[in-house]
Amino acid sequence: MNKISPMMEQYKMIKAQHPDKLLMFQVGDFYELFYEDAELAAKEMDIALTTRDGGSDNPIPLAGVPIHAVETYLNKLLRKGYKVVICDQVESAAQAKGLVRREITRIMTPGTITDQEMLEESRNNYLAVVINRHNRYFGLAAIDISTGDFQITEHNGEGAWEVISDRLRRLQPSEILCSSPDLEQLCRDQVKVNNSGLIETLSHIPDPAEAKKLIAAQWGEKTWQELNLERYPLAAASAAAGLTYLQLLQQLPGEGKHFHQLELYFSYKNMAIDSITSRNLELTQSIREGSRQGSLLGLIDRCMTGMGRRLLRRRVEQPLLEQAEIEKRLDALSELLQQPLRRRDLRKKLQDVFDLERFCSRLSYQRVNARDLVALKKTLLQLKPVKTILDDFEPVLIREINNSLPAFEDLITLLDRALVEEPPLSLKDGGLFKEGYNEEVDRLKTISDEGSTMLLDFEKNERSRTGIKSLRVGYNRNFGYFIEVTRSNLELVPPGYHRKQTLVNAERYTTEELNSMEEEIVGARDKLAALEYTLFEELRSKIGTYTGNLLSAAFELARIDCLQCLAETAETNNYCRPYFSDKGRMAVKQARHPVVEQLAFERFVPNDITVYKEQHYLLVITGPNMAGKSTYIRSAALIAIMAQMGSFVPADQAEMPLFDRVFARVGASDDLSRGQSTFMVEMQETAEILRESTPDSLIILDEIGRGTSTYDGMSIARSVLEYISRKIKAKTLFSTHYHELTNLEGELPGIRNYTMAVKEKGKQVIFLRQVIPGRADKSYGINVARLAGVPLDVLVRAEAILTELELAASTAAEHQLTLLPMVTEPVTGCGAEIEIVEQLRELDLNRITPLEAIQKLYELQKALLDIEQPDGGEG
Ligand code: ADP
């Protein structure tokens, strides 16, 4: 066996401390990975796998990435759910006596990223900690160290896991730590079904005393008392486990300065929107692409800052429940709408505001450089003008924001006095500070600046003293300053010149005078760089003392950004201010679906939505497929959510009740991703609504019962309707293709039938997109199939079956298409089209000439067209 090199010994020692992470080990200009790490990294990062000590018997697998490009690779690994340790050389090869010293400088995991380039601006990046006892008690902490957001919650008893897992699905954490392997598996199955990301079991869970100590150290004893954490031991344990984990990763900011206040989260303050509803309504991402685009959030987001974008997402996910709060936001919006010019100025100022919240996080980890501080100054410079703009606004909310927004004049002065406008990236080479900030810096700078003049003078003197015209003074990293004399002039070299280096065509010398100049200049430069670095650290920690204020400024800026964004959207898309009445009715005039109206190819047709408390709270909507049922019922839910997040709504007029919850369920069709029977899923989701909704909820049910056989499906749809109608009495919009359900109007309380108006033109059907009272008399399925380009054979056969069924239905009880056995006999006599098909089938192509074939084809097509357009008019 080969003896391993000292460097590999060093590697192994460091790797042994972090067996579960990929170790990136600095070797010169590269980060190298060895052994299994190399094999894995080569595969995951798509880079070459080579070997070290290739000639030996046991070559070591090796994969490397250049240091300057490491961020891209890190990004790839973290996104795939790996943890990475970065081990840097902490001394130069020149300084080292023997092996270069190396230390771990960063430990990175998917849920603990702070680098701006790796984070999405518009969303939080959460690390979640879930703790569970006896399967009934759950605690959850959600931590975003890039913004300082730290929330905890606790749920007990039946349904606790459902609440916790739903919250997890909405948070979409990049990393989840669980208290047991069973819980880990549960999270894998029910939270992270498709997403990548990291899920692990915690190795240690803090006991109550430990938890209290950790939380008090981070936020103070007072927080423990105020949040009454004694009563929420699992919430406290999850917070503490989170803190311990961050400590292990060296990611715990000092003295608890950076995290926002610890927030005990329960959903009473806000409307809880479960993840299924959020998905079905496409609140923050579209179903098809899973992207922001095509979602409500994507549509309304006209924020100018990352902080605003993240807050807007939160508002969409957590609308308000209290009317006074909502009205405060709406008042502010109204006034912003009336002042478009000021709003434009405000937007311009906000455009120059950087992500102050994430800056604070990096500041607390000492990860900001001089450029970040200059950017901070530029951001702070916007505050005063923002405040001046806000001064002209009356609404309480805007005044509140304005009053809580500091102008940071002293900090601006400090930064302005200290740093040059365009400092270098590196903090180690000086050039950071302005003249006048520090006397010693100025003195050393003069020496190093004057150094070049001194050297020029020296060169000039030496030329005239020796008579060597080509004599030059130069500098080289290894040899320092030198005087260079070409070979042809060597005889003119005076005494006192000491040889330093020999080149092919020249000799290089030094003199005592040059030596002492060198010492002074080089000494001054080194001292300057070291001094500037120390001063920078001082400046940085001074700015650290402002963190609390900076974070609250970040919050106020996010709030005003959200408001201007909603005003801008309301103006552009022509929304109206909703008003809340205590009559408990929803009466919206000319409602539109905010997203479909922007994306639809045709002109959007608005519709009224009227849902009253009594006699008129359960709308059953029938109509052909593609007529616009889903769009209509979803627009009701979206308008309710927008109104309660304090936004204007896509309608001409909107009288709204205050909803306690909004639910949206869609009959199962293709949701196979969960690995459960789709019908089972559909029923679980429906059961949840029936359990949790109240008379003050809004329920949207789109084709419930679709996922099973017709009789089953219809029976379930019907009994769900009955239950809502009699027991829950929630406002409900129910779209269905079971026409039989329209018979319930008049039989059950609250039910009203609506249908989508259509116009028939020959065999074509035109969707008018209008919702009118009444029931659909037929389903137009075949017409729609025709629109969709289904082959003629199939259409003709479908028509035949339909006719048969309609005949049968008049004698037998109500039947459903899909229930009838498949008919396998050849197509027989119904309609002129069938004749044509028959003729086509009889045709023996081997016995006719091409010319006859064309002739026949012409006849058949003509006959067909005559059927479709009997009067030869337009189609
Ligand atoms: P259904 O639920 O009845 O099958 P959808 O609501 O899915 O129908 O609507 C089908 C398509 O019709 C939508 O994708 C949209 O493009 C268009 N649409 C729906 N409602 C309207 C409307 N009110 N105005 C214009 N186009 C609409």
Q: Does 312 contact ligand 1 (Cβ within 6 A)? A: no
Q: Does 758 contact ligand 1 (Cβ within 6 A)? A: no
- Mean pLDDT, rounded, for 674-689: 69
* CA 651 / ligand 1 centre spacing (Å): 17
pLDDT tens digits along 77-98? 988 889 999 999 988 777 778 8
Tell me how far CA of residue 155 lies from CA of 177, 197, 210, 319, in angstroms.
17, 25, 21, 21
pLDDT tens digits along 368-417? 999 999 999 999 999 999 999 999 999 999 999 999 999 899 999 999 99
Does position 833 have pLDDT exceeding 80, yes or no?
no
Least confident of 297-301, 616-620, 683-687: 683-687
Q: Strand 102-108 and strand 84-89: pairing?
A: antiparallel
Q: Does 631 contact ligand 1 (Cβ within 6 A)? A: yes
- Whole-angstrom Cα distance, residue 635 to residue 628? 11
Let me know: does 310 contact 559? Beta carbons within 8 Å.
no
Using alpha carbons only, give the angle 272, 275, 281 rounded to the nearest 5 degrees. Answer: 95
Q: Does 784 contact ligand 1 (Cβ within 6 A)? A: no
Q: What is the pLDDT of residue 2?
A: 59
Residue ranges of alpha helices (H) inside 257-365 are 275-280, 296-300, 306-317, 323-338, 340-351, 356-364
Let me know: does 239 contact 152? Beta carbons within 8 Å.
yes
Q: Does 531 contact ligand 1 (Cβ within 6 A)? A: no
| Residue 209 CB coordination number (10 Å) | 8
Does position 425 have pLDDT exceeding 70, yes or no?
yes
What percentage of the chain reaches a pLDDT higher than 70? 91
- Whole-angstrom Cα distance, residue 834 to residue 836? 5
Q: Does 602 contact ligand 1 (Cβ within 6 A)? A: yes
* CA 636 / ligand 1 centre spacing (Å): 14
Q: What is the pLDDT of residue 434?
A: 94
The closest-lying atom of ligand 1 relative to the alpha carbon of residue 603 is 25
Strand partners, 748: 745
Q: Does 153 contact ligand 1 (Cβ within 6 A)? A: no
Does position 871 have pLDDT exceeding 50, yes or no?
yes
Smallest CA-to-CA distance from 532 within 427, 662, 457, 638 is with 427
Tell me how far CA of residue 552 lies from CA of 17, 406, 407, 870, in angstroms.
39, 9, 12, 73
* CA 767 / ligand 1 centre spacing (Å): 9
Q: What is the pLDDT of residue 194?
A: 54
Residue positions counted in the chain:
875
The closest-lying atom of ligand 1 relative to the alpha carbon of residue 703 is 2
- Whole-angstrom Cα distance, residue 489 to residue 495? 14
Q: Atom 18 (ligand 1): residue with closest C-alpha? A: 628
Q: Which amino acid is at 135?
A: N
- Whole-angstrom Cα distance, residue 202 to residue 216? 22
Banded model confidence at residue 779, pLDDT cuts 50, 70, 90: low
Q: What is the pLDDT of residue 637?
A: 97
Q: Does 596 contact ligand 1 (Cβ within 6 A)? A: yes
Does position 820 have pLDDT exceeding 50, yes or no?
no
Judged on CB neighbours under 10 Å (0-12, 13-18, 19+), 371 is: middle
Smallest CA-to-CA distance from 266 within 294, 293, 228, 219 is with 228
Does position 823 have pLDDT exceeding 50, yes or no?
no
Residue 285 φ then ψ, to 5°? -150, 150
Tell which wins on pLDDT, 264 or 580: 580
Q: What is the pLDDT of residue 809?
A: 66
* CA 631 / ligand 1 centre spacing (Å): 5
Residue 576, SS3 per DSSP: strand
* CA 145 / ligand 1 centre spacing (Å): 42
Give me the torsion for CA of 461, 463, 466, 469, rounded to 10°: -170
Q: Does 825 contact ligand 1 (Cβ within 6 A)? A: no
Residue 275 has which token pair?
């993840």
Least confident of 136-140, 165-169, 578-582: 165-169
pLDDT tens digits along 714-734? 888 888 899 999 999 999 999
H or E segment and range at residue 801: helix 792-811
pLDDT tens digits along 788-805? 777 777 777 777 777 777
Q: Does 629 contact ligand 1 (Cβ within 6 A)? A: yes
The three-state DSSP-derived secondary structure of 158-204 is CCHHHHHHHHHHHHCCCEEEECCHHHHHHHHHHCCCCCCCEEEECCC
Strand partners, 591: 607
Residue ranges of alpha helices (H) inside 608-693 are 629-644, 678-692
Q: What is the pLDDT of residue 785?
A: 72
Q: What is the pLDDT of residue 195?
A: 58
Q: Does 605 contact ligand 1 (Cβ within 6 A)? A: yes
Q: What is the pLDDT of residue 822?
A: 33
Smallest CA-to-CA distance from 15 within 129, 102, 120 is with 102
Strand partners, 127: 143, 175
Banded model confidence at residue 671, pLDDT cuts 50, 70, 90: very low
Smallest CA-to-CA distance from 395 within 403, 383, 386 is with 403
Q: Atom 5 (ligand 1): residue with closest C-alpha? A: 628
* CA 604 / ligand 1 centre spacing (Å): 9
Let me know: does 154 contact 262? Beta carbons within 8 Å.
no
Q: What is the pLDDT of residue 418?
A: 95
- Mean pLDDT, rounded, for 766-771: 89
Q: What is the pLDDT of residue 211?
A: 94
Residue 62, SS3 per DSSP: strand
- Whole-angstrom Cα distance, residue 309 to residue 316? 11
Let me know: does 295 contact 316? Beta carbons within 8 Å.
no
Residue of 287, 588, 596 best suited for mutating to test ligand 1, as the one with most atoms within 8 Å of CB:
596
Residue 575 φ then ψ, to 5°? -95, 165
The closest-lying atom of ligand 1 relative to the alpha carbon of residue 627 is 3
* CA 281 / ligand 1 centre spacing (Å): 14
Banded model confidence at residue 868, pLDDT cuts 50, 70, 90: low
- Whole-angstrom Cα distance, residue 130 to residue 123? 21
Q: Does 155 contact ligand 1 (Cβ within 6 A)? A: no
Residue of 626, 754, 787 best suited for mutating to test ligand 1, as the one with most atoms within 8 Å of CB:
626
- Whole-angstrom Cα distance, residue 430 to residue 107? 28
Banded model confidence at residue 454, pLDDT cuts 50, 70, 90: confident
Q: Atom 23 (ligand 1): residue with closest C-alpha? A: 605
Q: Does 506 contact ligand 1 (Cβ within 6 A)? A: no
The closest-lying atom of ligand 1 relative to the alpha carbon of residue 625 is 4
Q: Atom 25 (ligand 1): residue with closest C-alpha? A: 604
Q: What is the pLDDT of residue 524?
A: 86
Tell which wins on pLDDT, 45 or 256: 45
* CA 736 / ligand 1 centre spacing (Å): 15
* CA 735 / ligand 1 centre spacing (Å): 13
Banded model confidence at residue 821, pLDDT cuts 50, 70, 90: very low
Q: Does 604 contact ligand 1 (Cβ within 6 A)? A: yes
Residue 455 has which token pair?
């050297």
* CA 728 / ligand 1 centre spacing (Å): 29
Q: Atom 19 (ligand 1): residue with closest C-alpha? A: 628
Concatenated DSSP letters for 701-729? EESTTTTS-HHHHHHHHHHHHHHIIIII-
- Whole-angstrom Cα distance, residue 70 to residue 192? 28
Residue 352 has which token pair?
């120059």
Banded model confidence at residue 807, pLDDT cuts 50, 70, 90: confident
- Whole-angstrom Cα distance, residue 824 to residue 701? 36
Q: What is the pLDDT of residue 58?
A: 79
What percentage of the chain reaches a pLDDT higher than 90? 51
Q: Atom 10 (ligand 1): residue with closest C-alpha? A: 626
Residue 45, SS3 per DSSP: helix
- Whole-angstrom Cα distance, residue 708 to residue 711? 8
Banded model confidence at residue 120, pLDDT cuts 50, 70, 90: confident
Q: What is the pLDDT of residue 560?
A: 97
Smallest CA-to-CA distance from 525 within 607, 447, 603 is with 447
Q: Does 625 contact ligand 1 (Cβ within 6 A)? A: yes
Banded model confidence at residue 352, pLDDT cuts 50, 70, 90: very high
Residue 682 has which token pair?
């559909």
Residue of 619, 631, 706 best suited for mutating to test ligand 1, as the one with most atoms within 8 Å of CB:
631
- Whole-angstrom Cα distance, residue 502 to residue 509? 9
- Mean pLDDT, rounded, for 429-435: 89
Let me know: does 279 contact 172? Beta carbons within 8 Å.
no
Residue 255 has which token pair?
């003295």
Does position 505 have pLDDT exceeding 80, yes or no?
yes
Q: Does 143 contact ligand 1 (Cβ within 6 A)? A: no
Banded model confidence at residue 674, pLDDT cuts 50, 70, 90: very low
Q: What is the pLDDT of residue 315?
A: 94
- Mean pLDDT, rounded, for 255-269: 72
Q: What is the pLDDT of residue 780?
A: 66
Q: Atom 13 (ligand 1): residue with closest C-alpha? A: 628
pLDDT tens digits along 123-165? 899 999 999 988 889 999 999 988 888 999 999 888 889 889 9
Tell me how far CA of residue 752 lies from CA of 613, 631, 695, 733, 772, in angstroms.
12, 18, 17, 10, 11
Strand partners, 87: 25, 104
Strand partners, 149: 144
Residue 195 has which token pair?
């997403």
- Mean pLDDT, rounded, for 498-516: 91
Predicted model pTM: 0.78
Q: Which amino acid is at 367?
A: R
Judged on CB neighbours under 10 Å (0-12, 13-18, 19+), 357 is: buried
pLDDT tens digits along 329-341? 999 999 999 999 9
Give the mean pLDDT of the chain. 87
Banded model confidence at residue 870, pLDDT cuts 50, 70, 90: low
Q: Does 627 contact ligand 1 (Cβ within 6 A)? A: yes
Query: b/e map of 132-156 (b: 16 or more CB within 10 Å)?
Result: beeeeebbbbbbbbbbbbbbbbbbe
Q: What is the pLDDT of residue 831?
A: 60
Q: Does 628 contact ligand 1 (Cβ within 6 A)? A: yes
| Cα–chain center distance at 409 | 34
Q: Does 212 contact ligand 1 (Cβ within 6 A)? A: no
pLDDT tens digits along 183-242? 999 998 888 755 567 899 998 899 999 999 999 998 888 899 888 898 899 999 999 999
Angle between helices 850-868 and 832-842 (to 10 degrees): 170
Let me know: does 267 contact 316? Beta carbons within 8 Å.
no
Q: What is the pLDDT of residue 873?
A: 41
